[in-house]
């Protein structure tokens, strides 16, 4: 008996929905080539939230003698003030992007840390459809999927070679969910590189990913779009904003999407989402925004192809490098990843006066997920047969811990962050103080199911041909709750547990102060203290009463920055910061490591040393950044990919390197954004002598991205925008011993588009144009071939 959720494709409904969106409120993604932002000088604080918006609409109700507010809350001059206008900025210059978090009040230009931004205009030009696609524009990020007992999927990223699966935020609040995030509600995405625990709390070894969402704004706007193309791809989007009164607005964004994956058999995603928001007091001293987000996704997980060592060689590679069909998928008809995500977020901002501002951000989230995935394992016999008698080679789809076996996951989380900013002077020294309290709780409950094969209780054999896999496995049965309990995963020291429960509560307090000792020099120091209390239990099945563990840890994370700013367009900085990752931090999105032998483990501790410079050039049209850094992680926690066992070690890992970026408008109508990163990532010391001096797994030595477009005859009937870009990443090792690797990623993408008048746009995007065999999600002994050559047509409008 199967307890899995049935897979219902959206089918004609999603297509009809997409067409309806186009007819009612289609979306024109602006292929703007020469969009400069006009601001009053000095810049008002109210325009910070819209530094990336390339288009400003006239206000609804101008008031004589006062600044006018556009639909996106930016400030333009009144007729009486036009003589003070100066043209600055470009929507592609990422230095002008505000971080958008109360406890990080500055823009990218004035934040002393390496920050990569994926701006709204770039996502529109590339027709980005997911967080994963957006982050391909950021060097040093690789996608992985958690392994071991209960191996996960969803968005699992590494930043600079370090895990970041618990470091995804929306508007500064942590998103604990385990799902693949669609980008229909994104304004822009920022990646703050390096330890940032002083701001975000525990974690952030490699950095933090912060998503700024689309929320209600003043003015009216209506947009939508439809996309279709390779892999039976159909997608409709909606974005509706309506102003009510002089300071209230509502906004609704929505999405329906269904697609197969080009270059992979049987892999698809059917999803839809909606995100309404309402904002009160826009432009007033007190602003309150309420946001709701829902996403339903029904997809097939893809655990890739085996990585094996060819006889006579020393480095294992994916079998697709030796001629295996890149389309081969090694799952069964039971494989499914069905998720429902609901989040309610309330954000309050109160300006007590011009020097003191208070923020309170709160979120509650619920996550429901049914997950079942085959993890193909190709042992020595399988590998040998492939190179000697390939037709005889078979693969074991339950190759890791007998699974992972299916489970139903039901989670919830709450978080509240209260903070305040105070600005004042003592004599000639200016100060900015930030302080607050961050409280969160997350709960995870998993119910495990088991397979049975041909009625043989305890047998987990599930093999298929390596060359010609079949998704149908006669005799393979998925049991209902409690059925075949002897086939549940045998957790070391516990038994075959039917239920696993984890929870954690974090209470944090943070404080920082920035002092301008001179107009051109400031120093910033801060810290965060956290009290971490986590628990884990496993019971039911053959585990009986099971086990229950808990731990409490207090962590302290400081940061110090020195900033030299000779003028508003140049900053040279030095930043030192630390972060900690306590055991059990990843409550919802990894195997739970708490055991009797691990409760006393100290948290991982990471340190960052970074020297960098940022330059805002050509009246804000172009932004340049350069940084050299050194990251050190000690007391590394190691997870065995086969057993899920966690061990603590005295291993020290170090990643040092250089990051460069350029973004903005080179010449009129010609925009570009480019990044480059060089990483010297090695294991400095280890209890395993063979690992010393080896590269950190998943950390590329070199990586770079570039995207550029040019518009011919903008605002003319014969206008056309064309361009494209390159994503390049060196090959990476898949394990600490550097005995398995995947080759470099090289992907060429392109776009061509045309605007019909002021509102309508038609575009065609091409991805992986040379159909190169690249790899997306990486594992210790598997790799997933990336999407093959594909094309996507888009019709959109904006009113």
pTM score: 0.86
Would residue 138 count as lying in a domain? yes
Contacts of 655 (CB under 8 A, 6+ apart): 160, 161, 162, 630, 631, 679, 680, 681, 682, 696, 699
| Structure-token pair, residue 202 | 């525990």
Tokens standing for residue 187: 């304004």
pLDDT at position 24 over 50: no
Q: How many domains does the chain have?
A: 1
Domain of 553 in residue numbering reads as 11-36+89-798
Longest Cα pair distance anywhere in the chain, in angstroms?
85
Q: Tens digits of per-residue pLDDT, 568-611?
A: 999 999 999 999 988 767 777 666 556 655 555 677 889 999 99
CA dihedral 94, 287, 351, 416 (to 10 degrees): -80
Give me the pLDDT at residue 258, please: 95
Give the model's pLDDT for residue 591: 61
Instruction: Give the model's confidence band at 692: pLDDT under 50 very low, under 70 low, under 90 confident, else very high.
Output: confident
pLDDT digit string, tens, across residues 461-491: 688 999 999 998 888 888 889 888 887 877 7
Higher pLDDT, 156 or 618: 618
d(CA 141, CA 700): 9
Q: Please check whether residue 538 is in contact with residue 494, taking contact to mean a CB–CB distance below 8 angstroms.
A: yes
pLDDT at 648: 54
How high does pLDDT run on average in the chain? 85
Of residues 220 and 29, which shows the higher confidence score?
220
Distance between CA atoms of 186 and 171, rounded to whole angstroms? 10
Q: In the predicted model, is pLDDT for residue 14 greater than 50?
A: no
The residue among 149 and 562 whose pLDDT is bigger is 562
Phi/psi at 362 (nearest 5 deg)?
-135, 145
Using the predicted structure, report yes or no on whether residue 50 has a pLDDT greater than 50: no
pLDDT at residue 396, rounded to an integer: 87
Average pLDDT (232-237) is: 96
CA–CA gap between residue 451 and residue 485 (Å, rounded): 9
Confidence (pLDDT) at 764: 98
Question: Residue 47: inside a domain, yes or no?
Answer: no
Residue 66 belongs to some domain of the structure: no
Tell me, yes or no, whether 60 lies in a domain: no
User: 313-330 pLDDT, tens per residue?
Assistant: 999 999 999 999 999 999
Has residue 766 been placed in a domain?
A: yes
Tell me the C-alpha to C-alpha distance, in Å, between residue 641 and each of 362, 377, 781. 36, 12, 9
pLDDT at 347 over 60: yes
Task: Give residue 155's pLDDT band: very low, low, confident or very high (50, 70, 90).
Answer: confident
Burial (Cβ within 10 Å: 0-12, 13-18, ≥19) of residue 418: middle
| pLDDT at residue 402, rounded to an integer | 47
Nearest partner of 421 among 431, 435, 442, judged by Cα? 435
Split at pLDDT 50, 70, 90, the class of 779 is confident
Q: Give 595-633 as a DSSP string.
A: -TTTTTPPPEEEEEEEEEEEEEETTTTEEEEEEEEEEEE
* Tokens 């050194």, located at residue: 630
* Residue 83 resides in a domain: no
What pLDDT band is residue 525 in, cutting at 50, 70 and 90? very high
Q: Is the pLDDT of residue 67 over 50?
A: no
Residue 466 lies in a domain: yes
Mean pLDDT score, 54-82 = 40
| Cβ atoms < 10 Å from Cβ of 687 | 12
User: Residue 77: its pLDDT value, please?
Assistant: 42
Region 161-186: mean pLDDT is 91
CATH of the domain at 280: 2.40.170.20
CA–CA dist 519, 525 (Å, integer): 18
Question: 344 to each of 179, 210, 347, 504, how far by Cα in Å?
Answer: 17, 17, 10, 20
Distance of alpha carbon 335 from alpha carbon 513, whole angstroms: 51
pLDDT at 256 over 80: yes
- Decide if 419 is inside a domain: yes
Measured CA to CA, the distance from residue 106 to residue 110 in angstroms comes to: 6
Instruction: Please check the confidence at residue 83 and state whether its pLDDT lies above 80.
Output: no
pLDDT at residue number 599? 55
User: Residue 87: is its pLDDT beyond 50?
Assistant: no
Q: Of all residues in the chain, what percent carry a pLDDT higher than 70?
A: 82
How far apart are the C-alpha atoms of 18 and 181, rounded to whole Å? 19
Which residue is associated with the tokens 């008996």? 1
DSSP structural state of residue 123? H
């Amino acid at each position: 008996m199967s307890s899995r959720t049935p897979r219902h494709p959206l089918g004609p409904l999603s297509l009809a929905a997409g067409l309806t969106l186009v007819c009612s409120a289609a979306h024109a993604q602006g292929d703007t080539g020469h969009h400069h932002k006009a601001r009053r000088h000095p810049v008002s604080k109210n325009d910070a939230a819209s530094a990336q918006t390339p288009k400003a609409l006239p206000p609804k109700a101008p008031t004589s003698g006062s600044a006018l507010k556009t639909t996106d809350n930016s400030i333009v001059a009144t007729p009486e003030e036009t003589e003070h206008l100066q043209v600055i900025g470009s929507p592609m210059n990422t230095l002008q992007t505000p971080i958008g978090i109360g406890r990080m009040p500055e823009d990218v230009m004035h934040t002393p840390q390496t920050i990569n931004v994926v701006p709204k205009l770039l996502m529109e030009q590339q027709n980005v459809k997911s967080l994963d696609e957006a982050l391909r524009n950021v060097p040093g990020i690789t996608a992985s999927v958690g392994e071991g007992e209960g191996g996960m999927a969803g968005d699992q990223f590494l930043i600079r070679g370090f895990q970041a699966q618990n470091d995804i935020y929306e508007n500064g609040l942590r998103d604990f969910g385990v799902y693949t995030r669609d980008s229909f509600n994104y304004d822009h995405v920022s990646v703050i590189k390096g330890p940032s625990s002083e701001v975000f709390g525990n974690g952030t070894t490699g950095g933090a990913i912060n998503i700024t969402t689309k929320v209600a704004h003043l003015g009216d706007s209506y947009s939508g779009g439809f996309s279709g193309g390779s892999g039976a791809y159909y997608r409709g989007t909606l974005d509706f904003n309506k102003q009510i009164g002089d300071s209230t607005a509502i906004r609704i964004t929505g999405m329906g999407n269904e697609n197969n994956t080009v270059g992979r058999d049987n892999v698809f995603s059917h999803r839809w989402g909606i995100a309404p928001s309402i904002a009160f007091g826009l432009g007033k001293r007190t602003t309150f925004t309420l946001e709701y987000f829902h996403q339903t996704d029904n997809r097939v997980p893809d655990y890739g192809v085996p990585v094996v060592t060819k006889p006579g060689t020393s480095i294992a590679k994916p079998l697709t490098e030796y001629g295996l069909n890149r389309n081969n998928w090694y799952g069964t008809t039971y494989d499914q990843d069905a998720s429902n995500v609901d989040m309610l977020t309330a954000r309050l901002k109160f300006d007590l006066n011009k020097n003191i501002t208070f923020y309170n951000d709160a979120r509650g989230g619920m996550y429901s997920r049914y997950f079942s995935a085959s993890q193909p394992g190709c042992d020595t016999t399988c590998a040998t047969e492939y190179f000697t008698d390939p037709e005889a080679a078979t693969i074991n789809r339950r190759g890791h811990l007998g699974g992972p076996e299916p489970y139903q996951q039901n989670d919830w989380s709450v978080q509240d962050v209260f903070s305040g900013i105070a600005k004042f002077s003592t004599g000639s020294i200016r100060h900015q103080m930030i302080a607050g309290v961050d409280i969160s709780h997350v709960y995870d409950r998993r119910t495990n199911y088991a397979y049975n094969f041909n009625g043989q209780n305890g047998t987990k054999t599930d093999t298929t041909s390596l060359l010609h896999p079949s998704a149908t496995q006669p005799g393979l049965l998925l049991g209902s709750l409690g059925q075949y309990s002897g086939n549940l995963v045998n957790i070391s020291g516990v038994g075959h547990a039917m239920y696993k429960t984890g929870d954690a509560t974090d209470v944090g307090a943070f404080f920082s102060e920035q002092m301008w000792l001179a107009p051109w020099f400031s120093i910033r120091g801060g810290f965060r203290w956290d009290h971490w209390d986590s628990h884990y239990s496993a019971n039911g099945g053959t585990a009986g009463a099971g086990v229950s563990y808990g731990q409490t840890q207090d962590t302290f994370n400081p940061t110090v920055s020195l900033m030299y700013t000779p003028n508003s367009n140049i900053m040279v900085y030095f930043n030192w910061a630390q972060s900690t990752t306590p055991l059990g931090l990843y409550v919802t999105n990894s195997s739970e490591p708490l055991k009797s032998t691990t409760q006393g483990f100290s948290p991982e501790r990471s340190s960052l040393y970074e020297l960098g410079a940022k330059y805002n050039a050509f009246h804000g049209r172009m932004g340049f950044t350069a940084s050299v850094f050194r990251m050190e992680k000690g007391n590394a926690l190691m997870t065995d990919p086969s057993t899920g066992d966690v061990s603590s070690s005295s291993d020290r890992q170090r990643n040092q390197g250089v990051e460069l970026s350029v973004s903005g408008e080179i010449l009129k109508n010609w925009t570009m954004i480019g990044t480059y990163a060089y990483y010297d990532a090695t294991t400095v010391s280890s209890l395993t002598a063979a690992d010393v001096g080896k590269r950190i797994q998943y950390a590329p030595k070199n990586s770079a991205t570039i995207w550029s477009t040019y518009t011919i005859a903008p605002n003319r009937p014969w206008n056309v925008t064309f361009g494209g870009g390159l994503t390049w990443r060196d090959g990476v090792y898949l394990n600490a011993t550097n005995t398995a690797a995947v080759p470099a990623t090289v992907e060429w993408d392109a776009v061509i588009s045309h605007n019909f008048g002021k509102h309508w746009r038609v575009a065609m995007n091409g991805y992986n144009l040379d159909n190169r065999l690249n790899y997306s999600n990486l594992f210790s002994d598997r790799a997933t071939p990336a999407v093959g050559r594909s094309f996507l047509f888009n019709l959109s409008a904006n009113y």
